[in-house]
Structure 1
Amino acid sequence: MAGRDLRALFSTNDRALQAGEAFTNRELQWELTAAALTAHLRHTAAPGFDIEDLETPRDNVLVFHGVGGIGKTTLSRKIEAALAGAEQRPAQWGEPGWAGERILPVRVDLARSAGTSFEDLVLTIRAALSALGRPLPAFDLVLRRYWDHRHPGEPLEEYLRRGGLTARFGKALPQQMQSAMADVAQALLLPGTVGTAVGQLTGALVRALRERRQTVRALARCARLADLLEAEPDLEALSFYPHLLAWELAQLPADKKVTPVILLDTFEDVGDRTHRDLERLIQRVVWLMPNAFFVVTGRSRLQWADPALQGQLDYTGPTAWPGLTAPASPIPAQQAASAPGRGRQMLVGDFSPEDCDDYLARRLSRDGRPLISSEIRQVITDRSHGLPLYLDLSVLRFLEIRRTREPAPADFDHDFGALIARTLSDLTPDERHVLRSVSLLDAFDLTLATTAAGLTHQAPAQRLIERPFVRENPFGVWPYHLHGLIRSTIRSADDATDDRWTDSDWARAAERALAALGAQWTTAQDSGGRNRLLLVGCLRQGLPLARDFRLPLGWLAEAAWAYVSDSVWEPLAPPTRTGATRDGLETPADALVELLAALARRQHEHRSTTAARLTTVTDSRLLPADLHEMGLYYLAKAHRDLGDSAASRQGMQTVAAGGGRLAPAARRGLAHLARLAGDFPTAHATARTLGWAGRQHRVEGDIYWPHGDMHRAATAYAAARDQADQHGVAGERATSQTHRALVLAFTDPDTADDEIHLAEQLLTGLDLRATNLTLRIAALARDAGTLPGLEAARVLRAESRDAGITAAEAVLDVVLAFHHAVLGDHDKVRTTADRLRDPARNGDYAYYADIAHFMAGQSLPQPSTTRWLEPEDTVRRRWETLVAERRHHLGIRQP
C-alpha cells in the first residue's frame, strides 16, 4: 500500500520525483488482529453471550504499544482500511477468518492535536453506525436529551458538520435521531412537534417503561433505559450511554448484524498516571460494549488489569481483563490471540533490516527506480535500529541535502534531535532525568537507575521501565536496556528541550553511574560470592564511563585484578571514543581500557600485536604501579610466546623484583624460561618455591613430561587442577586439565579420551586460545599411529603461527615425531627433529629435538645442551618405551 507523502512532495521542485507513503509489512500484527477479532466474533455468537451481563470479564480489546515513531498510527490506519474491504488490504496480509460477517471499522484519533473530546468519541461511534440505515431509538433518545441539556441552542447537525463527522459519515444521524423520537412520540400518542418536546417525551417514555405498557414493549426489554433517561444528562451519564448502543446492536436482525471495530489511536494522550478522568470514561465505553471490538494503539500498555488502580478506574484487575495481564512482549505468533483470555498487549517491534531497505527504496523514486542509493540506504538502516521515524527523518534529510549537492553515505551518520522531543514528550521531569542517566548505561536495574539518577526513590525508574523504549532481557545481569536508537540519540544529538543537560550534568551523572556500578560489584565481593558475570558487566559499563568522562579509576583497579585472576578473558573492549586513537592514551582510564582490551584480544590476535599494544600501555606510565606491573608481566608473556626469551626474562625479573601481586607469577615465568632454555635443574628448583600463587604443580608437570615421566606429570597436573578448583579459578583449572590430557595421550589413548572430554567441558565458556590449541594437539597424540592424514596438523600449525604461539607449534612437532616413530618412519622423524631445531637457534626448545631422536632410537647429531634432571639415557629410555607401548597397543610389529 502506498499513498502520497506530501511532506516529501513539497520538499523538492523535482516534479519527476515520486514520493510514496510506503507501508512496510506488518504481517504479524495483522495476523494477531485477525486472530483476536475472530475469537471475539466466536465469543459473541455463542448461545450464552448476554449483552446486559455487566459482571463477565471482558476480552474485547487488543493493544499495540511501542516507542514514538515506531509506526503505530500507520498500523492503525492500515488495519482500519483492511477491515473496510479486501481491496484496501495490503497484498502481503492474509485473508481474515470471518467470511460472511459484517465488520464496521471506526477509527478515532485521541491525540491532543486532534482535539478529540469524549463527546466526539461517542458521537463518532454513533455516526459510524448510521451506515446501518436505521435509528437506534434507545440510544438516540438519551443522546438527544443529553445534547439539548448540554448544548442548548446549538444544533447537533451543525456540530457534526463543523467537526467533520458529516463529511466522514454523511447526514443520516440527525435524521435517524428525529425518526426515533417521532416513532416513540407516536407510540405514546403525544401531541405537538417532537423537536421541542424532548423533556415531555422523555418523561412520558419513562412512565410508560415503568408501567410496562405494550406500546413500548420493544424498548422495555432494555432493562436500564429508564434509569439512564432519569439520570442527570451530564458527561458522567454520557459515558454509560454506550450500553444502549451495545443493546441496540444486539437487537438487529440477522441480516443486519454488524460488529464495530473501534480503533483508538494515540492513547498516550488520554491522560497520565495521575489524571485518569478521560481514561475512566473511555474504559467504561469498552466495558459497556462487549459486542464491539477495540484496537488501542499508544506508547504504553494498558494498566487496566492492575488491581492497584481500583478507585481510579471502574473495572480493574486480572479477573476483569484477563487478556491484559501478560507483560509487554514482542509480537508473538497468531496463536497468541486465538482464544479469549490470551495475551492481548503486544509490543510493536522495530523493522527488520530488510523492511527498512524496502521502505527507503519505495519512499522516493524516479521512473520506477529508487532515488536513494543502496549505499545510503544501508547506512540509514544501520543507524535506524529499525525505527520508522528515523527512516522518515532521513528521507527528509536526503531531500534537503539534494537541493545543493548529491547526498553521500557519510551524510547519514547522523542523529536527529526530533527523536528526543518525541521520546520525552509524555515523560515527567523525574522520568526524563532517569532516562538521561540510564542512557549512560548498556543495561540497568531499578537500583542502578535510581542511584545513577541521584534520586532517593525508585518510583520514576519504575515508571520508566514500563515505557516501550525500555526493553527487558530477564536473563541479563541487569534486566533493562534502552532502545538502541533512543539511547544513542539522547547521548549524542543536540538536545533543544527546556530541561536539556549541560556537560557538567552529564559528568555528574557519569560519576554517579560509575559509583553505582562499583557499589554493586563491591557488595557482591563483600558477600563472599564470585559473580563473574557481574564483574564483567560492571567492567564493560564502567570502563567507558571512566574513559569518556576522564574519571578516576577507583574500584575499576581492583575489578581489573579480579578479571585477570580467573584467566577467562571475556571481551571487554568498549567502542572507541570519537576522535580517539590507540596510541593517544591520555588518562589512566584510557590506559586501563587498552590494557584489558589487549589482554582479552590476545586470544584472537597475533602475539606481536598484543606485545605492541602492551608496550604502548607500559610506555605511557599512566597506570598506578600495580597495574603497570600487570602490563609488564603480560608483555613479558607475549615476548616468551614470540620466542624473544631475552625480553621476556627482563620483564619477568622486573616484576618479580617488585614484589607485587604478580611477583609469584613472574617467578613462574622465570621457571618457564629456564625450562625453555633446557636448564631443568634451575626450573625445578624455582618451581618448588612457587606455591599456589605461582602455580607450582602445573610448572612441575611442565618439567616432568619432557623427561618422559608421564605418570608424575599427570599427577602434578591433577593436583594443579584440583587446587584451581578449590580456589575457583576456572581458567587455571581448564589449562591444568588440558595439560593432563596431553601427557596421558602419550600413554593410554582410552584414558586420554575421557581426560580430553573433561577438558572440553572445563573450557566451555572460556576464551583461552593457547589452551584450546593444546587440547587439539592432545587429540592428535591420542590418535598417534592411526592418523589417516596430517591435514588437522597442518591446520593447527597455521593457527599456531597466526596466533604467534611458538610453544604450541613446537609441541605439535613433538606429537608428529611420536606418530612417525610409532609407524617406524625414521626419515620423517629426522625431518621433524630438524624442524624443531629452528626455534632452538636462540637457545630455546632444544630438548624437543632431542626427544624426537629419543623416540626413534636415533643418535643425536651433536651433543645436547640440555641439562636434564636425570641421566640422558633414562629420559631416552622412557620415550622409547612410550613408542613401544603405543605400537603394542595398536598391534604394530617392531621395525
Structure 2
Amino acid sequence: MADDLRALFSSNDASSFDTDEAFTNRGHQWAIVAAAIEEHLQRLADPAFDVEDLERPRANLVVFHGVGGVGKSTLMRKLEAALTTDDARPPQWGAPAWTRRLLPIRIDLARSASTGADFERVILTIRLALAGELGRALPSFDVALRQYWEHTHPGEPLDEYIRRGGLAGRFSAMLPQQMQSAVSEVAGALELPGLVGSAAGQVTAALVKALRARREHAVALAGASRTAALLEATPDLEALSYYSHLLAWDLSRLPAKKSVVPVVLLDTWEDTADRHRDLERLLQRLVWLLPNALFVISGRNRLQWGDPALHGQLDWTGPFAWPGIDAPTPSLVAHARTTVPGGRQHLIGDLSAEDCDAHLARRLVKDGQPLIGADVRAVITARSHGLPLHLDLAVSRFLEIRRTGRTPVPADFDHTFPGLLARVLSDLTPEERHVLRSVSLLDAFNLDLATQAAGFTHQAPARRLVDRPLVTHNPYALWPHHLHAAIRTAVHDDTHSEDRWAPAEWHQAAARALAALGDQWRSAASLGPSRMLLVACLRQALRLARDYRLTDLGWLTDAAFAYTSDSVWEPLAPPPGPDGNDPGLDTPADALAELLTAIARRQREHRSRTIDRLTAVLDSHLLPAELTQMALYYRAKAYKDLDRTGDARTGMQEVADAGGRFAPQARRGLANLARIGGDFPTALAAVPTLGWKGRHYRVLGDIHWPHGNIDEAITAFEAARAEAEQHDAAGERAMAQVRLALATSFSDPVRADDELALAHQLLDGLDQRANTLLAQIAALIKDAGTDRDIVDRAHALQAEATTAGLPYLTRYLELGLALHHAVRGTTVELAATIGRLHELTGGGDFGFFTDIAHFMADLPLPEPGSRTRWLDGEPAVRERWHTLLAARRAYVHAPS
C-alpha cells in the first residue's frame, strides 16, 4: 500500500487520477490460497477421508516460488494475518466462503540452523499454536512427544527449552501442562492411577500393552492403528517425524465444536530443505502424515517432489503421490477464476512483459485511461526484467516527474534506479558488496568463480552472498548462481553509491574473472574434455575481453583450438556491447570473437559471407600467429567449398608450411584438393603423414570409394569412426558416419538404411550443414533406380546446396541421378545428366565423377579422355562400377 499512498500524496488534486492496488497486495496469490483452502475443507468433509490412509495421493499443499527479494515473506505474513482476523484482510481480497475455524501457523525456516533441532522447532511451533487455540491435550501425540523429550533431552525442562529457543509466548507454559494432562488422561482411561506422575516411558509402556490387548478404553483414547508401533519405536528424530500421524489422529478426534484446521505456512523453504535433503525428508513426512492440515510453502525454487528420481532420498515422490505439483490443477484454476500457472506450484516475483505492462497500465488511471503511456510502459518493462521492485520505483519516478509539471517521456526511464541498488546494498557487508560487483560481470557463476573474480582467497563472502535473495540458485545449471538481471544492470550502472568502482577497478575485476574462467576450463579439461564447459567459458570470456578491452588473450587461444577441434558449432557470438552497437574489430578479443563466430556461422551462411568475414579478421592484423593460421585454414576451406581450388590450395599450403597446430589439417586439405583434382596417387601418398589430427582414415575412405573399392572404403570409415569415439570427438564421428552411409548407399541399400539412421542420430545437435546435406544425398543414392521421387528430391537438394554456398555437393547429386537413370535404362535422361556433370567438372575438379558415370553405364569416355590418375588404372575402376550398377539393377528388380 505504500506506493498507493505515495501516489495519493503526490498531487494537490487527489482526484486527478486513481491508483489500482499495489503489486504487494497479492490479490492473485490470495485467490489461489483461498481456492486451496476451500478444496481442502471439501476434502476433509468427504466421508471417505481418513487420516490413517497413507496410500492416498496428497493435495494438501500450495507452493509459491520465485527470485529472492520480491515479497514472498511479505505474502506469507499477509496470509497469516488475513487468516487470523477479517480486519487484517485487504478489502480487495474479498470475504472467504468457508465457515470452519482455521489456525494459521507461520514458521520462518530461515531462523533454523542446519541441525536436528530444525525439525524440533517446526513440531514444537505447531504444537504450541494448537495449545493456545485448543486449550486441551492431544493425548496420543502428547504422550509420544513427552516420551521423545525425556529420551532426547534428559534433565532439560521443555518450558526452559522453549524460552531459550525463542519460541516463548503466551502459550509457552501451556504445552508442558497439556503434556502432563495427557499423561493423566491416559492413566485415568487405563484405570491405572499409579501412573500419574510416572516417567513418560512407563506410561507409554502401559499404553502400548493396553493397545496390544485391545483394551476398550485405550482404543478409544488412542486408537490409531499404528499408535502402538510408533510408541514402541526408539524415540529419536526419525520417530518424531512419524508422530505427525498421531497429531493428525488427535485432530481428527476432536469434537465438532472444538475442531480446528491448521494452515501451516512454511516460509523461506530454500534455507533448509533445498540444501539439506535429510531435513526435507522430515518436513515432507510432516506434510504427508498430517493430511488434515493445509501447508503453504514459499521458497526460491520449485519443490521437486514430483520427480521420481528423488525416490530413496524422499519417502514419497512422483506425480501420483503429489498430483498437480508439476501441472495446472483444474480445481484451483476454477476456484481462482483465473489461469493459474504451475498447478500446486506458482511462480511469483518476476513478471512476464505482458504482466508488467498490464500492471503499469492499471497502476495509475485517469478518466478510465492509463496515466502511464504505452511508450513509457515499454521502456520500464524492458528495464525491469520482470522485477516488481523496479516497476514500483518507476511508478514513483513517474509521479515525481509529473509533480514538476512536465510530462514524463520514455528517456526518463531508460536507466536503472539508484534506489533499487541502495536497497540491495543496504544489508551487505563491504566484502559482500565487492563480490556482488565482481560476479555482476558474469552471466552465471559458482563459488570458485565468484571468489577468484573478487580476488579473495577465502569463500566466506561469496557463500554469504549466494545465500542472499538477490542471487538465484539453479542446482542443475553448469554454474548454479546468477544475479537477477535487473539487479545486475543496476550494479553496472551505479554512479551514486559511496563505494562504487572506478573504471580501472572494473577492468581489474574483468581480468580476474577472465583468468578464473580459464582456470575452471583448464582444471576440468585435465580430467577429460567437457564441451559444455568449454562453450560456456568461451561465451562469458569473449564478452568480458571485448567489453573491457582485455588485450591478453591468454587461455582463450587454447580454448579456440579446442572449440574448433571437434566440428560442433555451438553459437558463440557475444551480444552487442553495453551501448547496443557492434564494437567492430578494435581489439584481439574482437577479432577472436569474430573469427569463431564466422567459423561457426558458416553452417548457416553462404560460404562467400564466411570468406568476407574471415578476410576482415585477417586484414585487422589483431590476432597472434597461431590464430591467424586458424583464420587462413577456414578461409581456405570456404574457398574449396566454392570451387576456388587455386585460392584454397594457396591458403592450405601457407598453413601447412607454417607448421603450427593447424598444419595437420592443412595437409589433409592439400590431400583432399589433390583427390578433388583427380590426383589419387598424390592424395594416397599423403595419408601416412596425416595421423589422427589429419583424419587419415577419413581421407583414405574418400580415396577408396571413387575407385569402386566400397569394402575398403567402409573399413576406412569404420576405423575413422572408431578413432573419433576413442578421442570423444562427436563432430568427427558424425562426419565419418555420414561417409560410411554414403559408401554403403552405392553397394548395399539395406545396410545404408541403418547407417543413415545412425548418421542422423549422430548429427543431431551438431549444426553440420554440409554433412547433413551429404547424408540426404546418400539417402537419394540409396534409393536410385526406385520410384521414390528421385528427380524431385535431387532438385530440392540442389537448391539447398546452392543457397548454402556448397556447389561441390551438386556433383554428388548428379552422380546419384546418373546411377538412377543408368539403373532404369532411361538413356536420354542419363545423357543429359552426364552432360551436366561434364559442365560441372570441366575445370578439372571432381572430373572423376564424370568418369564414374560413364563407367557405370559402360560408356566410352569422351576424347581427349580423362585426366584422372587412378590408383590401379581405368579398366579396373570401370569394371568395379559397372558391377555395382548390375547389382543395383538386380536389387531393384528383385521380387519383393
What TM-score does the superposition give when structure 2 sets the normalisation length? Answer: 0.69
Which position in structure 2 is the counterpart of 1:811? 812
Mapped to 1, the partners of 2:885 and 2:133 lie a distance apart of 101
**1:690 to partner: Cα distance:** 2.1
SS in 1 for 2:21: strand
Amino acid at match of 1:470: V
* Aligned positions of 1:652-691 closer than 5 A: 652-691=652-691
Contact 1:65–1:297 (8 Å) recurs in 2: no
Deviations 1:754-780 (A, max 9, x none): 211222232233222211111122222
State the alpha-carbon separation in 2 of the partners of residues 860 and 811 from structure 1. 19
Give the SS at the match of 1:468.
Answer: coil
The structure with the larger Rg is 1
Deviates further, 64-73 or 849-858: 64-73
2:885 corresponds to which residue? 883
- Give the corresponding residue for 2:311: none
Q: Contact (CA 8 Å) 2:105, 2:262: kept in 1 or not? A: no
2:802 aligns with: 801
Q: Within 1, Cα distance between the matches of 2:799 and 2:485? A: 39
Q: Equivalent residue for 1:530?
A: 529
Residue 460 of structure 2 corresponds to 459
Aligned pair in 2 of structure 1 residues 830, 559: CA closer, same or farther (>3 Å)? Answer: same
Distance 1:137 1:638, change over 3 A: closer
What is aligned with 1:541?
Answer: 540
1:65–1:345 Cα contact (<8 Å) kept: no
Q: How does 1:639-718 map to 2 (within 5 A)?
A: 639-718=639-718
1:136-147 superposed matches below 5 A: none
Offset, 1:649: 1.4
For the 8 Å contact 2:698–2:716, the answer to whether it is kept is yes
Map 1:452-601 → 2, pairs under 5 A = 452-490=453-491, 492-527=492-527, 529-551=528-550, 552-579=552-579, 584-601=584-601
How many angstroms apart in 2 are the aligned matches of 1:855 and 1:596?
43
1:866 is matched with 867
Structure 1 residues 75 and 317: alpha-carbon distance in aligned structure 2, compared to 1, 3 A threshold: closer
Q: Tell me which residue corresponds to 2:409.
A: 407
Q: Secondary structure at the match of 1:553?
A: coil
Amino acid corresponding to residue 671 of structure 2 in structure 1: A
**Per-residue deviation, residues 823-871 of structure 1 (Å, max 9, x unmatched):** 2233333333343345435442333334334434445555444313143
Give CA deviations for 1:196-240 in whole Å, capped at 9, x if unaligned: xxxxxxxxxxxxxxxxxxxxxxxxxxxxxxxx9x99xx9999943
CA distance in 2, matches of 1:848, 1:515: 52
1:593 to partner: Cα distance: 1.4
CA contact (8 A) 2:365 2:371 kept: yes
Paired amino acid for 2:474: N
Note the C-alpha offset of 1:665. 0.9
Following TM superposition, by how much is the alpha carbon of 1:747 offset from its aligned partner in structure 2, in angstroms? 1.0
Partner of 1:241: 170
The structural deviation recorded for 1:487 is 1.9
Counterpart CA distance in 2 for 1:237 and 1:686 is 81
Match for 1:886: what amino acid?
Answer: R
CA contact (8 A) 1:350 1:385 kept: yes
Return the letter of the residue paired with 2:479: W
Contact 2:67 2:300 in 1 (8 A): no
**Are 1:741 and 2:670 matched, yes or no?**
no
CA offset at residue 459 of structure 1? 2.2
Cα deviation per residue 1:115-143 (whole Å; 9 max; x = unaligned)? xxxxxxxxxxxxxx9xxxxx9999xxxxx
How far 1:746 sits from its partner (Å)? 1.2
Q: Cα distance 1:3–1:460, how it changes in 2: closer, same or farther (>3 A)?
A: closer
Structure 2 letter corresponding to 1:357: D
Amino acid at match of 2:889: R
Give 1:666 deviation, angstroms: 0.8
How far apart are the structure 2 equivalents of 1:566 and 1:357? Answer: 45
Match of 1:99 in 2: 98
SS at match of 1:471: strand
Could you tell me which amino acid in structure 2 is paired with residue 788 of structure 1?
Answer: R
Question: Residue deviations 1:736-757, cap 9 Å, x none?
Answer: 1110111101111111112112
Q: 1:319 to 1:828 in 2, by over 3 A?
A: closer
Cα gap change, 1:333 to 1:92, in 2 (>3 Å): farther
Contact 1:28 1:331 (C-alpha < 8 Å) held by counterparts: no
Mapped partners of 2:91, 2:707: distance in 1 = 77
Cα distance, 1:108 vs structure 2: 14
CA–CA distance in 1 between the matches of 2:274 and 2:582? 53
1: CA distance, partners of 2:408 / 2:761: 56
SS at match of 1:603: coil
Q: SS of the residue aligned with 1:5?
A: helix
**Partner letter of residue 574 of structure 2?**
P
Cα 1:336/1:388, change in 2 over 3 Å: farther
Q: Distance in 1 between matches of 2:817 and 2:607?
A: 24
Aligned-partner Cα distance in 2 for 1:794–1:576: 39
| Residue type of the alignment partner of 1:241 | R
Is structure 2 residue 743 aligned with structure 1 residue 771? no
Q: Which moved more, 1:72-81 or 1:642-651?
A: 72-81
The percent of aligned pairs where both chains have the same amino acid is: 47
| Contact kept? 1:83, 1:104, Cα under 8 Å | yes
Q: How does 1:352-371 map to 2 (within 5 A)?
A: 352-371=352-371
Residue identity opposite 1:530 in structure 2? P
Question: What are the equivalent positions in structure 2 for 1:289-438 lying under 5 Å apart?
Answer: 293=263, 295=265, 328-330=300-302, 348-372=348-372, 377-397=377-397, 404=406, 407-408=409-410, 412-438=413-439
Q: Tell me, yes or no, if the aligned pair for 2:21 and 2:363 is still in contact at 8 Å.
A: yes
1:434 and 1:453 in contact (8 A); partners too: yes
- How far apart, in 2, do the equivalents of 1:810 and 1:608 lie? 19
Alignment of 1:106-185 (within 5 A): none
Mapping of 1:775-854 within 5 angstroms?
775-789=775-789, 790-854=791-855
1:415·1:489 contact (CA, 8 Å) conserved in 2?
yes
Per-residue deviation, residues 55-106 of structure 1 (Å, max 9, x unmatched): xxxx99998775334576478658856886799889999x97x832145889
CA contact (8 A) 1:306 1:318 kept: no
Measured on the aligned residues, the alpha-carbon RMSD in Å equals: 5.0
Q: Which moved more, 1:492-501 or 1:395-404?
A: 395-404
- The residue number in structure 2 matching 1:447 is 448
How far the C-alpha of 1:349 sits from its partner, in A, is: 4.0
Whole-angstrom distance in 2 between the partners of 1:641 and 1:236: 75
| Residue 504 (structure 1) shift | 2.3
Given residue 451 of structure 1, which amino acid in structure 2 is its aligned partner?
Answer: Q
Relative distance call for 1:453 and 1:888 in structure 2 (3 A) is: same
Q: Distance in 2 between matches of 1:504 and 1:865?
A: 68
How far apart are 1:627 and its partner, in Å? 1.1
Q: Which amino acid aligns with 1:330?
A: R
In 2: Cα distance, 1:99 partner to 1:762 partner? 59
After superposing the two structures, state which structure 1 stretch, 820-829 or 26-35, moved more: 26-35
**Is there any run of 5+ residues in structure 1 with no aligned partner, and where?**
50-58, 110-128, 130-134, 139-227, 252-289, 309-314
Residue 242 (structure 1) shift: 3.9
Q: What CA distance in whole angstroms lies between the structure 1 residues aligned with 2:353 and 2:380?
A: 10
Read off the aligned partner of 1:360 and give its amino acid letter: L
1:611 maps to amino acid = I
Q: Give 2:215's aligned residue.
A: none
Q: 1:53 is matched with which residue?
A: none
1:280 aligned partner = none
Query: 1:353–1:381: 8 Å Cα contact kept in structure 2?
Result: yes
Shift of 1:587: 1.7
Counterparts in 2 of 1:826 and 1:62: CA distance versus 1, 3 Å = closer
